[in-house]
Amino acid sequence: MWTRSPAPRPIASRAQVLFLVNGAAGSAAGERAERIAAQLEPGSADIVYRDGGRRLAVKSMAIAIRRARPQVVYAMDLAVANIAAWALASPRTPLVVDTGDTPRQFLDLVGAGPVRRGGAAALERVGYSRSRRIVVRGTHHADQLRDRGLDHVAVIPDGVDLSFFRPHDVWELRRRLGLHRDLTVGIQGNFTWYPSLGGGLGWELIEAMGRFPHLPVRAVIIGSGPGIRQMRLLADHHGIADRVHVMGRIPYRDLPRYLSLCDVTLLTQTNDPSSWARTTGKLPGYLAAGRHILATRVGTAAQLLPEDMLLDYHGGWDTTYPDRLGARLAELSDDPSAVRHAGLQLCELAEPFDYDEIARRCAEEIRTVAA
């Protein structure tokens, strides 16, 4: 997850717009909320971040709503904490839901139990049907909602700060980290692991390297999460632990520099409805940093990237995908300089994701609802 650490502003007595963020200050959701708030009139918006467990978050967010008495509540993510707080504190206040995920479909994918799936379905019914506006990140998600009879939908994708997200010369850092001899393949994000599937974010790269033991590549893992430990165990199992480099959680401002360590970045999404609904914040960041991308032929990436950067993915969990990924990486490793050049050509594709424009469009949706 991209991280940044702004100081949360105090809750005003009469905020016009109150953002409820299902994450901490510095999270990707927090970054988006801060960007949108900056596009509103000075002093008209406040942000409440999630702090602690679900029950505590619901209570603190509900108190903030009652104290601020806003004209609009902006729920950043379709989550129990912020939707429940709005419903308990002020259900007559106009609600905007900004989400990049479909909770019920995702829980179906990972094999969650009926109670969790039923709860997610109820959350979607309340959040979608009682909101004045639903802001989604991709056209496929909008189509899914419109097929359900919901027409109060706006498509506004994830953004990237083009003022400092750009390619960096990091040759000295690569040399210091021992990454200067081989093709580097990177993934950035919050690394989860799903025992029911036998993997999570990053699994496909470690597995591909294990299945192609002589592949001259090194893995660069940027982020944190419970999946890191599982990937280390998998790398040990395959005997490639010395070729897996974990950078840990990187501050948002430093992220472009660390992405520049990666000759190739991976954007692996499963071929199911929950993934087709996503844009993901990774795609704009990889584009702006000028990284070569290998993505599955799913969602926005399938519409945007050149054909030679796309790979097929079969179904909700494809155990054959690491074979195709490994074979493609073997081809790319023959000419790393061509790989880097192709990545730099992607920078111009990031322009539609400029965070200033993305935030301005979200702010206009808020003004429309408030009016």
Give the torsion sign (CA, 110, 320, 249, 229).
Answer: positive
Domain shared by 315 and 363, yes or no: no
Domain shared by 290 and 358, yes or no: no
Cβ atoms of 226 and 191 within 8 Å: the answer is: yes
Domain shared by 309 and 362, yes or no: no
Domain shared by 337 and 190, yes or no: yes
Q: Which residues of the chain have pLDDT under 50?
A: 1-13
Beta-strand ranges (E) seen in 215-288 are: 217-224, 244-248, 264-267
Domain membership flag for residue 30? yes
Cβ atoms of 329 and 217 within 8 Å: the answer is: yes
pLDDT at 6 (0 to 100): 41
Q: Which long-range contacts (CB under 8 A, 24 or more apart) does 357-361 make?
A: 357/159, 358/35, 358/156, 358/157, 358/158, 358/159, 359/32, 359/35, 359/36, 359/38, 359/39, 359/159, 360/39, 361/154, 361/156
DSSP assignment, residue 71?
S
**CATH code at position 53:** 3.40.50.2000
Domain shared by 32 and 84, yes or no: yes
Domain shared by 42 and 153, yes or no: yes
Cβ atoms of 199 and 207 within 8 Å: the answer is: yes
Domain shared by 44 and 85, yes or no: yes
pLDDT at 27 (0 to 100): 83
Domain shared by 274 and 336, yes or no: yes
pLDDT at 36 (0 to 100): 97
Domain membership flag for residue 3? no
Model pLDDT for residues 45-88, shown as the tens digit of each residue: 999 999 888 999 999 999 999 999 999 999 999 999 999 999 99
Cβ-Cβ contacts under 8 Å for 111 (sequence gap 6 or more): 194, 196, 197
pLDDT at 119 (0 to 100): 85
Domain shared by 245 and 126, yes or no: no
pLDDT at 279 (0 to 100): 67
The structure tokens listed for 248 are 């840990």
Domain shared by 185 and 57, yes or no: no
How many domains does one find in the chain? 2
Domain membership flag for residue 305? yes
Residue 365 half-sphere exposure, CB side, CA atoms within 13 Å? 26
Euclidean distance between CA atoms 205 and 360, whole angstroms: 37
Domain shared by 270 and 359, yes or no: no
Domain shared by 119 and 232, yes or no: no
Q: Pick from 293, 340, 356, 321: which is nearest to 197 by CA?
A: 321
Model pLDDT for residues 301-358, shown as the tens digit of each residue: 999 999 999 999 999 899 999 999 999 999 999 999 999 999 999 999 999 999 999 9
Domain membership flag for residue 293? yes
Euclidean distance between CA atoms 287 and 280, whole angstroms: 12
Domain membership flag for residue 247? yes
Range of the domain at 83: 17-159+354-370
